[in-house]
Amino acid sequence: MLLLCPTVLSLISSSLCAAAPQRDSKSELHSATSNRNKLLLISFDGFRWDYDRDVETPNLDKMAEDGVKALYVTPPFLTITSPSHFTMLTGRYIENHGVIHNMWFNTTTQERKQYYQAQFVDSYWDNGSLPIWITAQKQGLKAGSLHFPGTAATYKGETVRVKQVEPPFYNHSDETDWRLNVDKVIGEWFHQQNLDFVSLYFGEPDLAGHKYGPDSLNVKRWYGKWTGGQVKKIILSKIPGFNFKDIQFQLLDYGPVGMLLPKEGMLEKVYRALKGGHPHLHVYKKEEMPARLHYSNHPRLLPIILIADPGYIVNGLLPLNNHKGEHGFDNEVMDMKSFFRVVGPDFKKNMTIDPFDLVDVYPLMCHLLCINPEINDGHLENIKHMLVSSKNTVEDEGKTNNQVEVLIGLSAVTGFLGLVFIITTSYTVWKRTTA
């Protein structure tokens, strides 16, 4: 069974909160770029914490030498794409930001929207937590996003002002597009349009891992060694005492986690039938969910939540899910942990830090951009020791750095070639080299 981590993070930024230089006759572009940090957040979907260990990854190794790497990062539960990426953008646990699944659904009409269609349901994303794009824009910065989950939505009447939303049936494995997208972000958005913050998403190797499985050449093309095994299916209709006639709405067949809304008066019956009904299925009433998962206190979550053990997925009437690799498991499972690298003038070099939670990345990004964060669940205190000076703030008048470099930090997803290009691109000289 292939276990895919939900996301990878990359950060690219200039020096922290540099003091403004004296006005001179230089162009406004030079003045603006001198006064503001530049931050690039990169996600490679599906890159597990240990995928660089059994293959040669010279560019990732160089990042570790020139910057900071974490042993791993713990993503939020539910460990799938949209919820985890929105946690990156908001610093909130999933039960607090409300993007509880890749799927949008309506329990009354029985309507469901798959991952791509759900990107355009504004009310699903705009649920009280502002992503960092909007916060940055409200504080005078320019933000952009390319293909990042949540990019298409409107938040309190505002959208990320420079954006590219992936078209339907987009081929995330097209390396030509990777190069074009990197050129667009670095050359056009950062240089020509002088953006301050950009998020960039690559959908591989997540799709290859789902489709072909851990031992396929398709997956090994993206990164080295995957764990092997077979997907095992838990079919609810085969559990004695359980009957779909007792269910008003279900969200099943999308991996190891399922949710059920029993008909009125049927909750206890459904719960008792499923509880203990399969040795590898954990059944919770919503309020009984382990507190450490932060996946119980939101009205969108259904009354009964099902979580399968690693190596198992939950199906309803028939085994509809044919993925050969999957994520969405408990975030304490090591195969769900994320990969992280960060490089830039404000970060220490050749430093390995202990694991931390993905929610902590948001306050770090706000610190790099010198903006006031929204309410969030992260703690800069947990990771500020990776900074050259943990005392840098907007008031650090004594430190002036006129060098606008691209700083890169990486969490847990694959998209290795695209990452190579970004790592080797300097915002100042605009020269890309490839290994």
Active site residues: 81
Cα distance between residue 59 and residue 65, in whole Å:
10
CB 374 within 8 A of CB 130: yes
Tokens read off for 356: 């931390």
Question: What are the backbone dihedrals phi and psi of residue 61, each rounded to the nearest 5 degrees, phi first?
Answer: -65, -40
Tell me which long-range contacts 156-160 makes (C-beta under 8 A, separation of at least 24).
156/126, 156/130, 158/134, 160/131, 160/133, 160/134
The order of strands in the sheet holding 304-308 is 247-251, 257-262, 304-308, 281-285
DSSP-H helix ranges across 139-199? 175-183
Burial of 77 (0-12, 13-18, 19+ CB in 10 A): buried
325 and 213 in contact (C-beta within 8 Å)? yes
Is residue 206 classed as helix, strand or coil in its secondary structure?
Answer: helix
Neighbours of 316 (CB within 10 A): 19
CB 333 within 8 A of CB 310: yes
Distance CA 88, CA 92 (A): 8
Write the CB contacts of 112 (distance below 8 Å, at least 6 apart in sequence).
103, 104, 105, 106, 251
H or E element: which one contains 163? strand 162-164
Record the tokens describing residue 63, joined without a space: 């990042």
And the tokens for 249? 């709405």
DSSP-assigned states of every residue in 241-309 = T--GGGEEEEE-SSSSEEEEEEPTT-HHHHHHHHTTSSTTEEEEEGGGS-GGG--SS-TTS-SEEEEEP
